[in-house]
Structure 1
């Protein structure tokens, strides 16, 4: 005859000893479990990005030995080496590093809250809104008054606001945000094309060179705005990771967990929009970084959604590596957006084929 084993008595705090032991298996950071694979992936990608960053500082028309790069960063060594590294190459490399992190972190946020791997800022109208505002400033002549960072932020916020309001129907869902965002993106693209037809020759050349996504000629004036924005917005995104994880489970489950769904989605969307707007203002709409980097980070971490920090590190590696490759392919100093576009387009096709085989691609 079967015998019943008595349940373990609860401890003084009302939690059984078995559950209390289970809770202690994993440490937590910001309320989330720390996964060894995620930590290892962050360290490996960060080291790879640092190595590529140092190589980019040593490579150019006047090569600098790798051993002289680090002293030159602290203004030590030969005067010519310090000038080349610190004043010519460092602003460009830092701009690429910061822009890659901002684009990728924004992509991770938007892909998670919409639960759609194709919901990148350059697919749902945010990039396009920032681009239209900057091109309007160049063509209509008020760009020097407001400044490119301000125009990019205003355009990105207006584009995101249009998407959010048009997608609102007693609340917003990720599916409606994606569909409405595609329409808003094409509207902004049409407006940008119209502005280019009204531009003078020198204005059109300036705008087209910026539209590709370019790090050529970037100075410290490009580093400071995106650096300050990333210093504020990336920690904010990490602090909101708990809400981000809850929204990944669906609205009903998130409400059951006590998450204010609409407020959380709106706040996370605001952080993502600000990140991509400052990045677009600094280097132009660098294509597919916000799409590719989070998907690569998700597979490196083995998680169900892209982790924000690993996505940001992957974005820095992708942009700095693409910029280095663009400088090595030809003597034309190709824009970085050409290389990231080629990489991201291949990943986009792979995602579409994969989702179709899984029965969710239509």
Structure 2
């Protein structure tokens, strides 16, 4: 089945439609479960009354002022990370490539910390500048007669290690309270999110979504060998630069509202492609997988007794087995 729009068209398979609908329903189910979760349990009737403005003040405060901003931020940030992971993995033709592996998330984190040290705020601007400068540096170092995927991955891994050490060094310049707060943020946390965070992440996603949609077609071709893609008329290096710039902007948005949640970008693409079994980029599906994984990790963090752990602890627990599985698959294929 082919869906035709005025500016582009999509080929939809029955499996893709069923997987997409299932993931949308899963996001909704996890969202409803997350709204209910907490020390003060609410029924669905009480939640609905709070959302429609008919509940008492305490219920409205719990749902509208505390839980809903946290949940919507988790969905937006998780979707942004999942989308960027699928974009990088498709562009570089390697499931091990993601912004948290090749240094872009670490660059955004360093920029955000530096902005906090210098100005006491402007975290988004710092994350964006840090991510952009990291992307420029990694791209420049990897550029040799064009942008080769394997050079980009190897240099990005080195940049990630260097910038992670740099973030630890910057933390030592903060006072104890700020350093402790930023340390939790560097692990990835959704504590104390507000409607300003929701507006920030969703405004960015809405602005960048049309560009990502337009990149769907060339990204599908980038999954092929370079000579085939060139034969189809694609200018590889400019296209890779455009994909990188779009993905870095999404990474900066996600990092600014939720911290560099580990492994979300890494695991979402492989899970989405495994569900579709078609070998296509699966960008929208990867975004929904990222949203579900982030929500589940946040629910686990909120359910931990005695202590409030950052959600990043649980995304790392989810991501580590997927990393081992991908390494095993790549080893069996002889690509490592």
Could you state the TM-score of these two structures normalised by the residue count of structure 1?
A: 0.89
Count how many residue pairs are aligned between Structure 1 and Structure 2. 333
Deviation at 1:321, TM superposition (A): 1.2
Per-residue CA deviations over 1:244-287 (Å, capped at 9, x if unaligned) read: 01111122111111112111111111111111111001110001
The residue aligned with 2:27 is 49
- Are the aligned partners of 2:187 and 2:312 in contact in 1 as well (CA < 8 Å)? yes
Cα distance in structure 2, aligned partners of 1:271 and 1:156: 11
Most deviating of 321-330 and 126-135: 321-330
Per-residue CA deviations over 1:221-263 (Å, capped at 9, x if unaligned) read: 2111111110111221122111101111122111111112111
Please tell me the root mean square deviation across aligned C-alpha atoms, in Å. Answer: 1.4
Cα distance in structure 1, aligned partners of 2:49 and 2:291: 23
Which of these residues, 23, 35, 39, is aligned with residue 13 of structure 2? Answer: 35
The residue aligned with 1:125 is 103
Pairing 1:105-124 to 2, within 5 Å after superposition: 105-124=83-102
- Are the aligned partners of 1:31 and 1:242 in contact in 2 as well (CA < 8 Å)? no
The residue aligned with 2:222 is 247
- CA pair 318-117 structure 1, distance change in 2 beyond 3 A: same
Pairing 1:55-134 to 2, within 5 Å after superposition: 55-134=33-112
Pairing 1:128-167 to 2, within 5 Å after superposition: 128-138=106-116, 140-144=117-121, 147-167=122-142
- Are the aligned partners of 1:75 and 1:86 in contact in 2 as well (CA < 8 Å)? no
Cα distance in structure 1, aligned partners of 2:182 and 2:239: 36
- Are the aligned partners of 1:322 and 1:336 in contact in 2 as well (CA < 8 Å)? yes
Deviation at 1:67, TM superposition (A): 3.0
Cα distance in structure 1, aligned partners of 2:187 and 2:265: 15
The residue aligned with 2:143 is 168
Cα distance in structure 2, aligned partners of 1:343 and 1:112: 22
Deviation at 1:188, TM superposition (A): 1.0
Cα distance in structure 2, aligned partners of 1:255 and 1:360: 23
Deviation at 1:198, TM superposition (A): 2.7
Cα distance in structure 1, aligned partners of 2:100 and 2:246: 15
- Are the aligned partners of 1:105 and 1:234 in contact in 2 as well (CA < 8 Å)? no
Pairing 1:171-190 to 2, within 5 Å after superposition: 171-190=146-165
Cα distance in structure 1, aligned partners of 2:319 and 2:294: 11
Cα distance in structure 1, aligned partners of 2:271 and 2:90: 14
Could you state the TM-score of these two structures normalised by the residue count of structure 2?
A: 0.95
- Are the aligned partners of 1:143 and 1:151 in contact in 2 as well (CA < 8 Å)? no
Deviation at 1:115, TM superposition (A): 0.3
1:217 aligned counterpart, secondary structure = coil
The residue aligned with 1:279 is 254
Deviation at 1:305, TM superposition (A): 4.0
Most deviating of 27-36 and 54-63: 27-36
Give 5+ residue unaligned stretches, structure 2. none
1:32 aligned counterpart, secondary structure = strand
Moved over 6 A (4+): none
Give 5+ residue unaligned stretches, structure 1. 1-25
Q: Greater Rg, structure 1 or structure 2?
A: 1
The residue aligned with 1:14 is none
2:252 aligned counterpart, secondary structure = helix
